[in-house]
Amino acid sequence: MNINLDEVVISGFQNIAEDQSIPIDPGLKAIIGKNEDDGYSNGSGKSSLAKAMIAGICGTEFLDVTNKEVKNRHLDISPKIVTKLTLNNVNKLIINRVIGGSLVCIVTGK
């Protein structure tokens, strides 16, 4: 089976604000970032993005963190991750996960 990660939409996960949509280019090799505050890469959200991709597909159990630890402390919302994938270049799979709450998976044709 061929699985392609197309997009991740993240809200309230660690240091990521509400409704951040991140398209994933085919053949992604690395995640790099630049902190707008100081110009360095620390604190730019690279690890949060990687953890959100894992949590969106597998849940937080694989991250060895609690649901409280992944919640953005500045927002009054539950962390939510929508992961969009393509299966075998035909079907679309959307995984809509609210951390500590609901999980909805939708499979559609092209």
Tens-place pLDDT, residues 66-103: 888 999 999 999 999 999 999 999 999 999 999 989 99
pLDDT in tens, 48-61: 999 999 999 998 88
pLDDT in tens, 9-31: 999 999 898 899 999 988 777 88
- 68: which residues sit within 8 A by CB, 6+ positions away? none
Q: Do the beta carbons of residue 98 and residue 78 sit within 8 Å?
A: yes
What predicted TM-score, i.e. pTM, was given to this entire model? 0.86
Distance of CA 32 to the CA centre of its chain: 15
Strands 91-98 and 80-87: antiparallel
> Whose CA is closest to 10, among 43, 47, 65, 37?
47
**Where would I find the H helices in 1-110?**
46-58, 67-70
